[in-house]
Chains A and B, each alone.
Chain A
Amino acid sequence: MKVWRNFVDLGAGLWTTLRQIGRISTVSYPEEPLNLPPRWRGRPTLTRDPDGDERCVACQLCSAVCPTRCIELQAGERADTRRYPLTFRINFSRCIYCGLCEEACPTLAIQLLDEFAFSKEHHADFIYEKDALLIDGTGKHPHYNFYRHSGVALGDKDKGQGINEKAPVNVRSNLP
């Protein structure tokens, strides 16, 4: 019985292969664009939140987790106390597209999108600064906005106006 089953599996596999005969699966890249799977790990980029502000809060988790230590950033603080990366640079001559930075990022800011083939003449040109990393979109996560979930007040979001928050307590009250 078992042996018979193996023959069926083998036949199914063979059929899949035979079905491809006559089809052309080679793409003449780069003339023809590639249809990359959505979870493709291309070059890391910095994305923006749905309100158009940069998502990165300069928490340095990506630079801490990066196995090749190719991310370097310095935090800055805006007048409204929002943290942002003053400088953010990735050395793409070191990046191995492992995606660990994306996994670590709590704000979904850094995302490995679909750019994968880029060549330069000099090593130094592989060091991308923030202006080259930051894109004008939300990447794979169109709705997430970290500051709506976090407890800090920011801009028009006051205390208690975040997602799943109660109104601020009255600390002067002694009622039971």
Chain B
Amino acid sequence: MKHVFFLDGQETPFIPGQNVLEAAIAAGQDRQIPYFCFHPALGSLGACRQCAVKMYPHDSKHPPRITMACLLPASDDLQLVTLEADVHTEHREIIELLMTNHPLDCPVCDEGGQCHLQDMTVQTGHSVRHYSGPKRTYRNQDLGPLVYQEMNRCITCYRCVRFYQDAALGEDFGVFGSRNRVSFGRLEDGPLESPFSGNLVEVCPTGVFTDKVFRHDYVRVWDLQQGPSVCPHCAVGCNTTPGARLGTLRRIRNRQNPEINGHFLCDRGRYAFPYVTAHSRPLQPRLKGETSRQEAVLRQLASRLEEGRSGFLGSPREDLQSNLGLFALADCLHAPFAAVTSSWAEALAQQCLALPQAPSLQEVAAADRIVVIGDLDSIAPMAGFAVRQALGRGARLTVLASSRTGLARKGDYRPLRPSALPDVVSRLADDPCLQGGRLPVLLATAETLGPAGLFALRKTLEKLPANARAGAFVNRPNLFGAAYFAADGHTERLQQALRQREIHHLLCLGADPLGEDWGAGTWRTLSPGLDGLALLDMVDSQTARAAEALLPVAAFPERAGLFVNYEGRIQAFAPVYRREAQVLHSAVHGSAFPEAAGGMKHPLGPPPPLFWLGRLAELLQVHEAWQQRLDFYLHFLCPTAPDPESPGVLLPDTLRARFAIAALPTTPTVESGQWELDIFRWYGGETLADTAEDLQSLAPLRGLRVHPDVQAEWATLQGPCGQLHLPVIPCEDMVQGVIAIDQEGFAELGLYPGDPVEVTWEQGS
């Protein structure tokens, strides 16, 4: 049955349980109800008293009364009015009260133009301030490099605390003071600790919290070019709205996708975008390290490929079409192709794909029994956020990890060595932590759990009730897309071909096999056999510096493409802007004229990988076959191309099924008394994000984390591919016998999480 109430005589539909304001906003009929403290994701509070409506009771005994729409449960045939004089007076007077202390800041306030307070003030018609007394002022706090505070502008709606403490379960932000002196911030100056701090910028309806990174290169929102995009920094695939001007990317805002990121984004998703403008980003084709003309580089590369002794390496960091384009080219040339850089990563990808349909983040937030394996917050922060939402609704959380992570503090923490995980996971089905729940959900960081652990997870899931769900996360946006053609020992075959000198040239797409990708150690030992290496990428990396031919590619907001997220959801993103040289001086005024009239053409940014691959296919005279294969694979994987504005389409289960046979991978055995490795990450760390300066200023120290019972200042680790000398960082939260290092360290050593390692401890350096 359809439920409706009447707002100014207009039918407004609602879902039972909604309040009047929520229903009116959802129906787009909130034009007459100004509000501040209500937020669709944070709920009602009744603090601002702004959302008054007049309610006419059904009977004639009670007089009509003014009440707060956000606190009034919607009920059938409710008669509400906002267009009467007394309601309007209330709106006007409340906003005038809220504005008494508001500073004259709009011209220098970054919220201006997208400010809820501005909108509401205009909407209620409050244009003249009657109060002429002195205004209250506050001192601001320095909240770190990401969020800027200007406390004078506060209207005490409490949205910020409700977000930071109640939704994101952050502990270092709160409300201070009493009566009209309340202030919102940290106890002391210092960077906000939550991985979700950037959302303060969006939840605050005024300019108290504004984007500090955007501030340095600010432009009003009405001059921004915006469009639908997808976050490229982890497997969750949150929907974003990048904003650009004059050919440079200025900021990222959340784009709501109710099944994934709702109203929020993590700080990596919001603040990692400066990889696009990083100085180190390659923008010109390079040949042997020298900037070169694109035709020359292409021709050189084509002649290399023509020799027929090339291998092809794709990447889970690149989008679906580009990987398919590379795969199709390899196919045309009958050359070996791999989508990931090591057999371990390949097994990992296969096991991830073999898992049955993963829960959407919306489902995670509704779960009541949750097991988290590894440091979820630092791989896929928004998945950690969904767990926090579930916790807020009373879910029971168990965390299996080798250190007390942010989430572990919120639930039951079981300290475990990574090598023990597969065993523990395989016994989870009978574990009390999952018993008695309505909707059990298991979330794992794929790397920590490892292929064997993921296999165990799949087996456990079979024993759990049918509605139990599991998801595995990586910090790559397209592992699932790349993994489809990662099957069956491709990587091993590629490396074998290199070892046996069947190939001596490698064409890589968005991969860093000589730098920090998994298995880089192995590639480094193989690299003497490489005559040449060509790379298509958008960031500077060790591989880019070593490459013989480098073709720069467009960054994600600069092109269209498809990512397949951890659920197998194919999401499209659209080009938001065109990278152009910023015209800053009149010396280039000629550029305003068309080329035909003698004007200079704007230098355009790098093209997408498919452009380069298409050109290569042309030069190799296989363009038609290449295009056919590309279209065929694309149609096979995604018969209906999703729209960037749509919530995406899920991969069909039949495609998943072929991975279900993936066998139990072998695991290294760790003797007791041996040191074992786990991965250390932080929420802002990821290949692209690593070039974003403001975000990286928060990065934790590089080093080797170990329980403080080890008395050493330095340590040398020995792996099959090399050794590593690192400072020791004592860490209370670590499990004894476990050493945590970053991915670069793993690449250096040629080892994987859960592997035993030889250590020598040293005093001094």
Contacts and interface: CB of A to CB of B under 8 A. Distances in A.
B607 interface: no
Given A170-B181, A174-B178, A151 B135 contact: yes
A109 to B, nearest CB: 10
Given A60-B219, A166-B135, A170-B181, A150 B590 contact: no
A167 B134 CA distance: 10
B139 interface: yes
B673 interface: no
A175 B105 contact: no
Most chain A beta carbons < 10 A, residue from B106, B108, B177: B108
B351 to A, nearest CB: 49
B84 interface: no
A152 B105 CA distance: 7
Interface in B721-740: none
B103 interface: yes
A151 B216 contact: no
Interface stretch (A2-10, A135-143, A157-165): A157-165
Contact of A160 (B137, B217, B585): B137
A83 B181 CA distance: 28
Nearest to B245: A74
Contacts of A175: 178
Contacts of B104: 149-151
Contact of B183 (A89, A166, A169, A174): A169
B179 A151 contact: no
Contacts of A173: 177-178, 181
Determine chain A's interface SS by DSSP, over half rule: loop
B137 A171 contact: no
Contacts of A57: 107-108
Interface residues of A, number: 40
Contacts of B176: 171-172
A166 B134 CA distance: 6
B178 A106 contact: no
Interface in A79-95: 83, 87, 89
A98 interface: no
Contacts of B105: 150-152
A77 B216 contact: yes
A166 B150 CA distance: 16
A14 B222 CA distance: 55
A106 B104 CA distance: 10
Contact of B112 (A59, A159, A162, A167): A59
B153 A151 contact: yes
Nearest to B106: A106
Interface in B237-292: 246
B150 A152 contact: yes
Contacts of B182: 171
Contacts of B135: 151, 164-166
A66 interface: no
Contacts of B134: 164-166
Interface string B94-124: 0000000001111110001000000000000
B726 to A, nearest CB: 37
Interface of B: 103-108, 112, 132-140, 150, 152-153, 176-179, 181-183, 215-220, 222-223, 246, 584-586, 589-590, 592
Given A75-B217, A168-B139, A169-B137, 9 more contacts: A60-B219, A60-B222, A129-B586, A151-B104, A159-B152, A164-B132, A165-B137, A166-B137, A176-B178
28 contacts: A57-B107, A59-B106, A59-B112, A59-B220, A60-B220, A64-B222, A64-B223, A74-B584, A75-B217, A77-B218, A124-B592, A150-B104, A150-B105, A151-B104, A151-B105, A151-B150, A164-B133, A166-B134, A166-B136, A168-B137, A169-B138, A169-B177, A169-B181, A169-B183, A171-B181, A173-B177, A176-B178, A176-B179
